[in-house]
Amino acid sequence: MVKSVVAEETRLQSTEDGLFQAAVPAQVGLVIGKLSSSLDKGFVFELVPTPPNDAGQPASSLSEGGKDGRKKGSKAKIHVDTSLLVIDRDWVAEHARQVSRLLLGGANVIGIYIWATENSFKTSTTLLWQTVKVVADAAPCYESDLDERLLIHISYSPRRWSCRNCMLGPTFSSSGLKPCDFKMGKVLTSLQHFKCMYNFEMRLPIFCTDASKAWSFGDALRSGIALHAKELNEAKALIDGNLVVRHRPSTSHATHEVELLLPFTKDVTKEARSTEEVMGVAVICGSIFSSAYLCPKEPLSQVISDIKVDIINSLRSRLDIIFDLSEEDDSELKIDDEQKFESVSSSEKPAHKLILHDLRKPCNIFFPRRILVPWLPGICICDYLQPSDSIQDLKDQWKELLSMDAPSDLSMILEPEAEAEGTSLSAKSFWDLTHDNTKSESDGSQKKKVKDSNHSSETKSQNFNIVIAIVVLIMSILMGLVLMFLSK
């Protein structure tokens, strides 16, 4: 359970000053940071305001009425703030979902903040807890055993900060919001950076059962990513060439290189060929750049866990982007046919919606490429480029989601996956797969026949030479005997 929270003082002070200058009655936004289960501590990197919704309405406001009142037994008018907060929870949750896609390992949406008076906050605790819960559902912290999030209150009457720990139970209770120690300090400058280029290839047999006949390519990919997450969880890791010891802390502040070592697994492709109920094989392969940040006093095992989660989250995010774009315009997806990529016509299904049971030709989906964008001092965010996109297309999105200005120098935006093979997903029908295997076995048999033929010819030639040598030897002996007889 998180008992204390340390927030980056430079970022939060800037947020507070901006709120007082704007003089808005209420504001809601996301808390970006990290919750450490090993330290029972929370770290806050930044507060990100939720932008207005599609209709231009703010995500939070105060209800009208009940702002002024007269206290009984008193002749003087006293201002009593009994206004309630109004929050568009679904919009805040959608904001959290999209922001979480941009965060690297070790940085998460760990709660919400609210700018409101003390009385408004106290009269809206149930609504605030519900907002925290929908945000947690929209932006889950995978592989985390902490079932809690933070609620930070910035009060302007009186002016002060406070933080509460929200326990994410099924229903709200008075014990669901617990005060925790909150202070500001230096967080960003103490973070350590770890990076990893992860090369992988997953081969997933698609079984032909009644339940899987309606399976699409996208269903297979989601299932494959879930299976690979379990496999990746068992991987060992090297940091700067040294095997990671579970509870060993890291003391160096340099950038560290991480290498993941996967355990040996079965050849599912070979196993699939011997299974009559397999109708195809989905292949996910490529290179993913992963990055993570480690907070002070956290063990190295934590950053390895964050790297693994970042890899799986990156795969999920790219798949979600493909799904989202196909809903807007199915022609964005491309199908690989005879090594030539052509846009899918409006009458055809997108590649990820193809039913695998009916698939009779290879198809290929290229995942968006990951890029890194400078954000906070020492911290980057990530985003994903489609083949037809440019970095310029993403600048407005960063401004809206994170209230940040993109760097004017585009050379500061890194594309670590550009030189790698990239990430692609492909599927072949089972018959093509077995045909390829049969062909390779046939080629092997022909090579073996040629080799055997050559070996046989060499053997015959050697035998013939031996026979000649024996005949010459016998004739020499006979000639010697004849000469001896004549000499007598």
Q: pLDDT tens digit string along 154-172?
A: 998 788 999 999 998 888 8
What pLDDT, on a 0 to 100 scale, did the predictor assign at position 389?
78
What pLDDT, on a 0 to 100 scale, did the predictor assign at position 404?
92
Q: In the structure encoding, which two tokens stand for residue 6, read together?
A: 């340390």
Side-chain-side CA neighbours of residue 158 (13 Å): 2
- Residue entry with tokens 């006949």: 213
User: For residues 305 and 143, is the Cβ–Cβ distance under 8 A?
Assistant: yes
User: For residues 217 and 282, is the Cβ–Cβ distance under 8 A?
Assistant: yes
Does this model's pTM top 0.95? My answer is: no
Q: For residue 471, what are the contacts with CB-CB under 8 A and spacing of at least 6? A: none
Query: d(Cα 149, Cα 1) in Å, to the nearest integer?
Result: 10
pLDDT-flagged residues of the chain (< 50): 65-80, 268-269, 272-273, 330-347, 427, 429-443, 445-451
**Cα separation values, 80 from 73, 74, 118, Å:** 15, 13, 11
User: For residues 34 and 144, is the Cβ–Cβ distance under 8 A?
Assistant: no
Q: In the structure encoding, which two tokens stand for residue 283, read together?
A: 């292949």
What pLDDT, on a 0 to 100 scale, did the predictor assign at position 212?
52
Query: d(Cα 278, Cα 275) in Å, to the nearest integer?
Result: 6
Q: In the structure encoding, which two tokens stand for residue 101, read together?
A: 């896609």
What pLDDT, on a 0 to 100 scale, did the predictor assign at position 12?
94
Query: d(Cα 291, Cα 382) in Å, to the nearest integer?
Result: 10
User: For residues 423 and 321, is the Cβ–Cβ distance under 8 A?
Assistant: no
Query: d(Cα 61, Cα 63) in Å, to the nearest integer?
Result: 7
What pLDDT, on a 0 to 100 scale, did the predictor assign at position 78?
41
What pLDDT, on a 0 to 100 scale, did the predictor assign at position 231?
86
**Closest C-alpha among 153, 26, 20, 18 to residue 83:** 26
Opening angle at CA 371, ends 370 and 377, nearest 5: 135
